[in-house]
Amino acid sequence: MIGILDYGMGNLRSVQKALQRVGAEAQTIGRPEAVALCDRVVLPGVGAFADGMAHLRATGMDQAVLDYIATGRPLMGICLGMQLLFGASQEGATEASQPVPGLGVLPGRVVRFEEDQGPGQARLKVPHMGWNRIDWQSGTALFDGLTPGGHVYFVHAYYCQPEHPADTAATTTYGRPFCSAVHRDNIWATQFHPEKSQQVGLRILKNFVERAADRPSDPSTG
Amino acid sequence: MLTHRVIPCLDVNRGRVVKGVNFVDLRDAGDPVEVAAGYDAAGADELVFLDITASHEDRAITYDMVRQVAERCFMPFTVGGGIRTLEDVTKLIQAGAEKVSINTAAIVTPDIVAQTARRFGTCATVVNIDPKRVPIDEALPRMRERYGSGFEPPAVSTGTDTDGNPIECVFEVHTHGGRKPVGVEALTYARQVVELGAGEIILTSMDGDGTKDGYDIEVTKRVADAVDVPVVASGGCGSPAHMVDVLRQTRADAVLAASIFHFGTYSIAQAKRALADAGLPVRLDDGVAVH
């Protein structure tokens, strides 16, 4: 069963219906105890990073997610859900030197698009809103069955900067290239909204449902 | 690269599409889910549902409609019309709209924009701005009453008086479908709502609306240059060539149209092909861009 984490950040129905459309049994999960019962978990979310972390903590979901990931079972973050997996975000930080801490599952940080692209460059509109291309960076199962150059729907003002280049599964160019999807072991995440990206998005969700693999257990820890 | 969005606008009344589409194979042209699915298959990038339900009491029907569309259509859509309070916004978002567009309420109580952005993020917060050219002698007193006696309009334009002679005008925001001037200057207001948290502006020129003579390039250019959030050009579209014009000549990100799609004058595919042929980045039906 796929659990969609409900921690009070946005409507989850479209994610649930999209997963059901691709044949998955998907339920929203409101209690941290239920997370351990899932064999796949989706961490969705829209809104502000600091609110997202506060809601995760208030519902006890933060620890439940970390415990779940430690079991090696697959998790997919979407939009804010992707950003929350990282170390920290500029969003909501009172000082640039003190970003708001995230779940810290993936090393890296979350930063805002700069409107000012430098002298002679056109200013960037923020948020980045609309259909943009994903350029694959790794042979991840996220994009199985898709042809290169497909478009997906974005709506965000902040984006992730993974510390390890190998974590980046796809980039998208807005002003300059940024990380639009990550894949590391059992963790998948997209900055775009697959549940709003028509056929391309449904295929990505189907890949998560059918092809995301458990992280191989580490023999040294038994 | 980010593609330009082509957005059909559907008028809905009591949960039924009353102006929106003319697909030949549609069983029920009034069913929002069928219409949305039709536009999805046709390659529309996003939908705007404009709720024209007169009675506020009937809004429960609207929420139900939004719920059904969100559950069955996997594409982005915005819902506007009749939003008065944060509670209205909350109900629409909870029903599954990812963006709400606020019009009159943002003029009367601008704080609703800030509240929506705080609660649901700037990305979900859209403001409709409906400007119209009004002779400066008429509009300026209203604007000075609002902004103070020292107010000078940041942009002037040329309109025509009742005898057809050129006359100096300003862009005054209107409510009630362009009938009621409210003393709000369009560029000043655009900057204000972005400051409050609007993440997108749907700009409907009341001079262009319904004319099919083309988008209002001048006001679109002015507003799109004044803010750093996406601007959707609206009002006046009569052909794909008009879409090309406004996207080439202004910083508008997206184009909205109602009549040309509703009456089947042009298809989404024709519109997008025209954009692609003009060298503008666009997402074609197969999900692969040509530029």
How far apart, in whole angstroms, are the C-alpha atoms of residue B118 and residue B112? 10
Check B31, B88, B130, B253 and give the catalytic one: B130
- DSSP symbol at B1: -
In what helix (H) or strand (E) does residue B247 lie, and over which residues does it extend?
helix B240-249
Q: Does B124 touch chain A (CB under 8 A)?
A: yes
Average pLDDT, integer, range A165-169? 96
pLDDT of residue B291: 34
Full DSSP string of A24-77: --EEEE-SHHHHTT-SEEEE---S-HHHHHHHHHHTTHHHHHHHHHHTT--EEE
How far apart, in whole angstroms, are the C-alpha atoms of residue A199 and residue A192? 14
Whether B130 is catalytic is yes
Task: Extract the tokens encoding B261.
Answer: 């799609």
How far apart, in whole angstroms, are the C-alpha atoms of residue A66 and residue B225? 45
Q: How confident is the model at residue B25 (pLDDT cuts 50, 70, 90)?
A: low
Please give the angle made by the CA atoms of B278, B281 and B287, to the nearest 5 degrees.
120
Contacts of B46 in chain A (CB under 8 A): 130
Do A127 and B283 count as a contact with CB atoms less than 8 A apart?
Answer: no
Q: Which residues of B20-54 are buried (b: 16+ CB within 10 A; e: fewer)?
A: bbebeeeeebebbbbbbbbbbebbbbbbbbbbebe
How far apart, in whole angstroms, are the C-alpha atoms of residue B181 and residue B170? 12
Q: How confident is the model at residue B285 (pLDDT cuts 50, 70, 90)?
A: low
Q: What is the pTM of this model?
A: 0.93
Contacts of B4 in chain A (CB under 8 A): 130
Over the stretch A184-195, which tens digit does the pLDDT of each residue have?
999 999 999 999
Among the listed residues A2, A22, A146, the one whose alpha carbon sits nearest the alpha carbon of residue A75:
A2
How far apart, in whole angstroms, are the C-alpha atoms of residue A43 and residue B132? 45
- Closest-CA distance, B193 to chain A, in angstroms, reads 14
Full DSSP string of A182-202: EEETTEEEESS-GGGSHHHHH
Domain regions of chain A by residue span: 2-211
Q: Does B96 touch chain A (CB under 8 A)?
A: yes
Contacts of B253 in chain A (CB under 8 A): 125, 129-130
Strands A106-112 and A158-162: antiparallel
Over the stretch B162-209, which tens digit does the pLDDT of each residue have?
898 999 999 999 998 889 999 999 999 999 999 999 999 999 999 988
To the question of domain A2-211 being in CATH 3.40.50.880, the answer is yes
The sign one gets for the Cα dihedral A144, A146, A148, A149 is negative
- DSSP symbol at B105: H
How far apart, in whole angstroms, are the C-alpha atoms of residue A208 and residue A205? 5
pLDDT of residue B289: 37
Do A127 and B71 count as a contact with CB atoms less than 8 A apart?
Answer: no
**Residue B287 pLDDT > 50:** no
Check A38, A79, A160, A179 and give the catalytic one: A79
Over the stretch B122-142, which tens digit does the pLDDT of each residue have?
999 999 999 999 999 999 999
**CA distances to A36, A83, B125, B126, B211 from B198, in Å:** 39, 22, 5, 5, 28
